[in-house]
Structure 1
Amino acid sequence: MGPVSDRIHDDEADTSVTIVRALLDEQCPQWADLELHQLLTSGTDNAMWRISPPSGPDHIVRLPRTEGAAASLVKELTVLPALADRLPVRVPTIAYAGQPSPVFSHPWAVVEWLDGGDAWQARSSLLDPDTDALAADLAETVRAIGAITDIDVPNRVPGTRGGPLLPLLVDLEQWLTDEQWDAARLLDVEAVRNSAAESAEAATAEIVADRFVHGDLIPGNILVSDRRLQAIIDWGGAGIGDAALDLVPAWSILDRRGRGVFRAATGATETAWLRARAFALQQAVGGVLYYVPRGHQLGEVMRRTLARILSDR
């Protein structure tokens, strides 16, 4: 294991093994001498290290890479206790809320390990016709998430996924036209625009019911085992917004058959489905343009999502 964890962003903090070891020594001496195993996943907000205490479950040390990721982690640490035992699947349990220090300027955390592989690692097994049960699991969980009414989280604002759709489509067009991203080199710009235009018609066609949403149900945040949903992680994007946002697994996780099962089980209206597709489209385009040139696997996650959206029109 090298001295520095793989860097993803230009402005990220040092999350190397040296920093992790120093933080544990400073704040969690009971774990300071344990072996550290870095997890290289499709996630990009946190560097993650697995430790195995002599008793009890394994733990994950999570160090946010950027200021934005640190703010999301702080919010997540307030949301997770409120979610305990309220969903049909597991969510992370906090083992320690780390404090900023001269060693590392951001808040950080230790959470208990959850069994299951993420849906990107398990992608070869999540193909039609074997995803009906997973699609049903996801639908049940999305409905349960949307039924929560008493957790204090911020509203999704214009220009963010889950906020009003039209400002988000303006943001999408900026991804496509800004010369720094060279969008035409990495994706079919006209196909993306056509898909966005179809969704724009849904922006004012239905009154949007804002609900509690996870906000980022992409493969890296979905833990599965034997093609069944086991847990949902990374709740830092939770908020109050368009419930259609949590329909994104239709394209980020599921193939065509599973998508149909999921849609039927959620009872999504046609306009909600179009808004969900627009949310998935904007995220996928941004992910392809940002992460593919950096060689990070999240770029491939988003490339697959984009292909599913464009083939599903």
Structure 2
Amino acid sequence: MEITTSLVRTLVDRQFPQWTDRPLTLVDPAGSDHVIHRLGDDFSVRLPRHAGAVDQAKLEFEWLPRLAPHLPLAIPSPVAVGEPDLGYPWHWSVSRWLEGSVATVDDDSPAVAVALADFLLALQSRPTGSLGSGRPLGDRDAAVREAITQVAGVFDAGALTEVWEAALAAPAWDRPPVCFHGDFHSGNLLTAGGRVTAVIDFGGLGAGDPARDLMMPFTLMSAANRTIFRDRLGVDDATWARGRGWNLAGGLNAYCSYAAVSPRVAAATTRQITAALAG
């Protein structure tokens, strides 16, 4: 969906007239799910680009204020949910602006690995309430196998298939469901000066298998720091295998969708897929 700055300006002015005097600036790149603008110095405005992200505004508005006091890293602080209007069909959000830049491999360190493991431990300790469980890993089987076929000229298709089939064959999570972020990778991490400042984008927030949140060690960390992260989090072999599968599914999807048009995504997802193969 085409979302222009003029549309966002009009939506804000009509629904939140108290902010009409705040300048609006497009944030680019903003990610695949939302168009993001900075509203003055204090706020960000996020409008979903596609139907897959339309529940995020209400989900975050309900859940993030509950979670924030119990987490060791900053997370978004929603202040308002906008209504569909002016031909724009979905709810949208206004949140407090979070300082920091999107994490890169230059931010990888043992201290960051520990900080991220501690964040997940805190998140997993929270009551799950009415959170949904999301789609199981097996639902992605056909799409992953098709993606492996597409990338066979770039990556080792046989090795990718082995990692994927090991993930599907790993014993399922048989303990009580825990809270998961659902899209916990370096693109949803803000840093400054070599330290983590915030975890963002909780559109995949749910309850169930913590393996869903094992993308971060493969998108950000070296092998040595992956080990520090895994040990701190106490991840067993079956959960790690499922986590490699979730990471592979996400990396292949992003590579096939965006690598041809974005060198930044191509480099990041190549590293992610290669790390999944390394384990």
TM-score normalised per structure 1: 0.82
Distance 1:283 1:106 in 2: 25
* Alignment root-mean-square deviation, CA: 2.0
Q: CA deviation at 1:116?
A: 1.7
Counterpart of 2:53 in structure 1 is 69
- Mapping 1:47-126, distance limit 5 Å: 47-52=35-40, 58-120=42-104, 123=105, 125-126=106-107
**Contact 1:42–1:297 (Cα < 8 Å) also in 2:** no
- Secondary structure in 2 matching 1:152: coil
2:111 to 129, 133, 141: 133
Runs of 4+ in 1 over 4 A off after TM superposition: none
CA contact (8 A) 2:121 2:233 kept: yes
Q: CA deviation at 1:223?
A: 1.4
- Is structure 2 residue 252 aligned with structure 1 residue 294? no
Tell me the alpha carbon deviations over residues 287-307 of structure 1, each in whole angstroms, 9 at most, x when there is no partner.
Answer: 101111233733432222111
Which protein has the bigger helix share?
2
Deviation at 1:284, TM superposition (A): 0.6
Q: Which whole-Å CA distance do the structure 1 matches of 2:235 and 2:193 have between them? A: 27
> Is residue 107–residue 195 contact of structure 2 (8 Å, CA) maintained in 1?
no
Which residue number corresponds to residue 176 of structure 1? 148
Shift of 1:31: 2.3
For structure 1, list consecutive stretches of 5 or more residues without a partner in the other structure. 1-11, 158-162
8 A contact 1:281–1:306 mirrored in 2 = yes
TM-score between the two structures when normalised by the length of structure 2:
0.91
Q: How many residues align?
A: 279
| Per-residue CA distance 1:59-111 (angstroms, 9 max, x = gap) | 11111111221123332222212213111111111122111112522111111
The residue number in structure 2 matching 1:222 is 189
Q: Map Cα deviations across residues 222-254 of structure 1 (whole Å, 9 max, x no partner).
A: 112232222111111101121121122111221
Shift of 1:259: 0.5
For the residue of structure 2 that corresponds to 1:184, the secondary structure is coil
- In the aligned structure 2, how far is the partner of 1:119 from the partner of 1:138? 12
Q: Deviation per CA, 1:265-300: give whole Å up to 9, x if none.
A: 001111111111111011111110111123373343
**Pairing of 1:186-225 with structure 2 (within 5 A):** 186-203=154-171, 207=174, 209-225=176-192
CA distance in 2, matches of 1:102, 1:89: 36
Gaps of at least 5 residues in structure 2 are none
Q: Distance in 2 between the 1:152 and 1:301 partners? A: 34
The 1-side partners of 2:87 and 2:139 are apart by: 40
Note closer, same or farther for the CA distance 1:152–1:297 as it changes in structure 2 (3 Å cut): farther
CA distance in 2, matches of 1:106, 1:212: 26
Return the alpha-carbon distance in structure 2 between the equivalents of residues 104 and 118 of structure 1.
28
